Chain A
Amino acid sequence: MTGSRRLVTAHTRTLRQALFVTALAGIWELVARAGRLPALLFPPFSDVAVALATETASGEILGRLGFSLALVGVGLSLAVLSAVLVTAAAMSARIVSEWAQTLMAILHPLPGIAVLPIVILWLGTGYRSIAAVIWFAAVWPLVANLHTGLRSVPATQIEVGRNLGLRGLHLVAQVLIPGAFPHILSGMRVAWARAWQALVAAEMVFGASGGEGGMGWFIYKRRFFMEIPGVFAGMIVIVLIGLIVERVLFESVEARTVRRWGMTQE
């Protein structure tokens, strides 16, 4: 009963959001068509839609998107791997935990893109540098959330697990990780968002190249050829991917895990 009601409200919410976005697009079109703003700077929404359609049809957007997603995949996987290693070390020794916290305090506020000049010096231009920037952008929120998540698992739950005979990796997999899952999930969310932003930013600054360029390079190139509808089209694709990952991927994981386990208030 409650399940279906929740479904209904979710549907009306989506509907209302869709209506709102359509209205925004309508106002955009109206403002652009009125001719008060130079069309060069503010193209009508319909031009953007046409650019989006032609660039998609030509395969350009899909290819660039594939490249971007693959890069984010590599960067994020490395970030998850290193976050797991750091957290494991931190959980096993108090001093490592303190070091990790200090490092986080120092490096977490630094945006990924700020390290790009150094990364280019060390790794040159190209995909390795961009992957490194993504890694840097994603690893700190991951470590922070993993760390707090594992620390927040109640000692009684761990004791119960021990009493049931769980040891080592079994204890981690069956008690610690499920217990810390809300934190792990929100860590992944932040890490994804930061990684995606870092990728686009890095490609648009100077790691960009024709052979190894994703959506950032797509926008960058459109800017230099003054194809402003194309720039907007690229932005829309970036937003769409962000939305799809958040709405489809993370929400379904959330529904199947923490919500089913009754770990959230919602």
Chain B
Amino acid sequence: MRRLLGVIVCVALLVGWLGLPGDGGSISAARAPQAQEIRIAGQFGLVYAPLVVAQKHKIFEKYGLKPIWKEYGSGAAVREALVSGEVDVGFMGIPPFLIGWDKGCPWKAAVGFCVVPVGLVTNNPAIKSLKDFKPDDRIALPSPGSVQHILLAMQAERELGSATAFEKHIVAMPHPDAAAALISRKGIVAHFTTPPYIFEELSHPDMHLVVDDVTCFGQPFSFNVGVATTRFHDGNPVAYACFVMAISEAMAWININKKEAAVLLAPEFGLTLEKTYRYLTWPGMDYTTAPYGLMGFADFMQKAGYIKSVPRSLSDIAWENLVAFVGDRAGEPSPIQQLQFRH
């Protein structure tokens, strides 16, 4: 009898907890005095150079923010950190961002982050296009649902008429492992990769590019975007604005001071100064907060079945600063509006 009572109490407690109104409001109220704290999820690589600059130059501090830096291994991991409330803002490719949006993640894009050369590199001289891959040939990319995966699907649709033609070829591997495997010819014949790995791989005389990102997508696109949760954006508008400015300032500094940036970044990436500078100034590298291709990815991913719905307009997936940035030209869409779509 006493035992039964215990069970009843437990159930009652559970039901009570479920029935209580949410305490989200009181939590954010309690945190209000420390609203300046911002938890930022980045990843590793040359792409994230502006975050390193912001960190080293204490740019967030200048805007009154107290940044807490966290590093994750993939866009999906950044997404999970944002969803679980571990971080306020995070950087990831447009596809992982859209997959989250499609599933109902409460967030929008806050800044574009970079346009960088991405491409499919092979160690097999016989492979000139996607048609030359044999059924046993394996293609490494960071993960399913990554930018690289979607680009491969885009090109597969163009060349072979089926976006899913390479689903059985893909191997999920982190970039450093895949680069090592490609160069030592262990297991994989191609790697869909990003800077600096793409530069390293293409420096080898027996490696070549099968297809580049612009060919896959049709035009340049943001490789990464900065994403802010609704909770952060609505709860701390000042901190949100400061975040956008701090990222802009870090990026502008790299663009204006490439030599100094190389000096700052070389030890971070374990590269020589000369190599870092060469990579920062590699044709195609562009650190910019302008968004490119947000809607184009959504259209393709929905048609290929990777997401269920497409945004009705940019404002569904982008915060007001980006919406204002892109504008909405009466009549024909403006060039910057056109850049959001694939043509």
Chain B positions within 8 Å of A41 at CB level = 83-84
Let me know if B14 and A125 touch, CB within 8 A: no
- Interface status of B187 (Cβ within 8 A of chain A): yes
Q: How far is the CA of A259 from the CA of B171 in the complex (A)?
A: 47
Q: A40-B104, A225-B306 are in contact. Are A210 and B169 (CB under 8 A)?
A: yes
CB-CB nearest in chain B for A129 = B187
- Interface status of B19 (Cβ within 8 A of chain A): yes
Measured as residues with beta carbon below 8 angstroms from the partner, the interface class of chain B is 35 or more
- Interface status of B163 (Cβ within 8 A of chain A): no
Give chain A nearest CB distance to B158 CB in angstroms: 20
Q: How far is the CA of A38 from the CA of B170 in the complex (A)?
A: 32
Chain B positions within 8 Å of A40 at CB level = 83, 103-105
Query: Which candidate, B173-181, B243-251, B256-264, B317-325, is the interface stretch facing chain A?
Result: B173-181
Measured as residues with beta carbon below 8 angstroms from the partner, the interface class of chain A is 20 to 34
Let me know if B104 and A39 touch, CB within 8 A: yes
Give chain B nearest CB distance to A218 CB in angstroms: 11
Residues 82-125 of A contacting B (Cβ, < 8 Å):
120-121, 124-125
Let me know if A223 and B84 touch, CB within 8 A: no
Let me know if B173 and A125 touch, CB within 8 A: yes
Let me know if A210 and B181 touch, CB within 8 A: no
Partner of B18, one of A30, A121, A211: A30
- Interface status of B186 (Cβ within 8 A of chain A): yes
Q: How far is the CA of A225 from the CA of B100 in the complex (A)?
A: 8
Let me know if A226 and B19 touch, CB within 8 A: no
- Interface status of A261 (Cβ within 8 A of chain B): no
CB-CB nearest in chain A for B172 = A208
Give chain A nearest CB distance to B86 CB in angstroms: 12
CB-CB nearest in chain A for B101 = A226
Chain A positions within 8 Å of B83 at CB level = 38, 40-41
Q: How far is the CA of A31 from the CA of B173 in the complex (A)?
A: 36
Let me know if B143 and A224 touch, CB within 8 A: yes
Let me know if B84 and A206 touch, CB within 8 A: no
Let me know if B14 and A27 touch, CB within 8 A: yes
Chain A positions within 8 Å of B103 at CB level = 40, 226-227
Interface centre among B22, B74, B143, B306 (most CB of A within 10 A): B143
- Interface status of B89 (Cβ within 8 A of chain A): no
Let me know if A225 and B145 touch, CB within 8 A: yes
Chain B positions within 8 Å of A125 at CB level = 138, 171, 173, 181, 186-188
Let me know if B173 and A206 touch, CB within 8 A: yes
CB-CB nearest in chain A for B19 = A34
Let me know if A209 and B18 touch, CB within 8 A: no
Residues 189-205 of B contacting A (Cβ, < 8 Å):
none
Let me know if A31 and B14 touch, CB within 8 A: yes
- Interface status of A220 (Cβ within 8 A of chain B): yes
- Interface status of B228 (Cβ within 8 A of chain A): no
CB-CB nearest in chain A for B180 = A121
- Interface status of B144 (Cβ within 8 A of chain A): yes
- Interface status of B121 (Cβ within 8 A of chain A): no
Q: How far is the CA of A93 from the CA of B173 in the complex (A)?
A: 45
Q: A125-B171, A211-B168 are in contact. Are A206 and B177 (CB under 8 A)?
A: yes
Let me know if A31 and B145 touch, CB within 8 A: no
CB-CB nearest in chain A for B164 = A210
Q: A31-B14, A36-B18 are in contact. Are A225 and B99 (CB under 8 A)?
A: yes
Let me know if A226 and B168 touch, CB within 8 A: no
| Interface bits A182-211 vs B (CB < 8 Å: 1, else 0) | 000000000000000000000000101111
CB-CB nearest in chain B for A208 = B172
Q: How far is the CA of A34 from the CA of B76 in the complex (A)?
A: 27
Chain A positions within 8 Å of B104 at CB level = 39-40
Let me know if A126 and B79 touch, CB within 8 A: no
Q: How far is the CA of A36 from the CA of B186 in the complex (A)?
A: 48
Give chain B nearest CB distance to A223 CB in angstroms: 6
Interface centre among B20, B169, B171 (most CB of A within 10 A): B171
- Interface status of B167 (Cβ within 8 A of chain A): yes
CB-CB nearest in chain A for B167 = A210
Chain B positions within 8 Å of A223 at CB level = 76
Q: A40-B103, A40-B105, A209-B138 are in contact. Are A226 and B18 (CB under 8 A)?
A: no
Give chain A nearest CB distance to B164 CB in angstroms: 10
Q: How far is the CA of A120 from the CA of B172 in the complex (A)?
A: 13
Residues 227-245 of A contacting B (Cβ, < 8 Å):
227
Residues 66-123 of B contacting A (Cβ, < 8 Å):
74, 76, 79, 83-84, 96, 99-100, 103-105
Let me know if A206 and B187 touch, CB within 8 A: no
Chain A positions within 8 Å of B172 at CB level = 206, 208-209, 220
Let me know if B181 and A124 touch, CB within 8 A: yes
Let me know if B144 and A124 touch, CB within 8 A: no
Q: A41-B83, A223-B76, A226-B99 are in contact. Are A210 and B188 (CB under 8 A)?
A: no
Binding site for B on A (CB under 8 A): 27, 30-31, 34, 36, 38-41, 120-121, 124-126, 206, 208-211, 220-221, 223-227
26 contacts between A and B (CB under 8 A): A27-B14, A31-B14, A31-B18, A34-B18, A36-B17, A36-B20, A39-B104, A125-B171, A125-B186, A125-B187, A126-B171, A206-B173, A206-B174, A209-B138, A209-B170, A209-B172, A221-B144, A224-B96, A224-B143, A224-B146, A225-B99, A226-B99, A226-B100, A226-B103, A226-B145, A227-B103
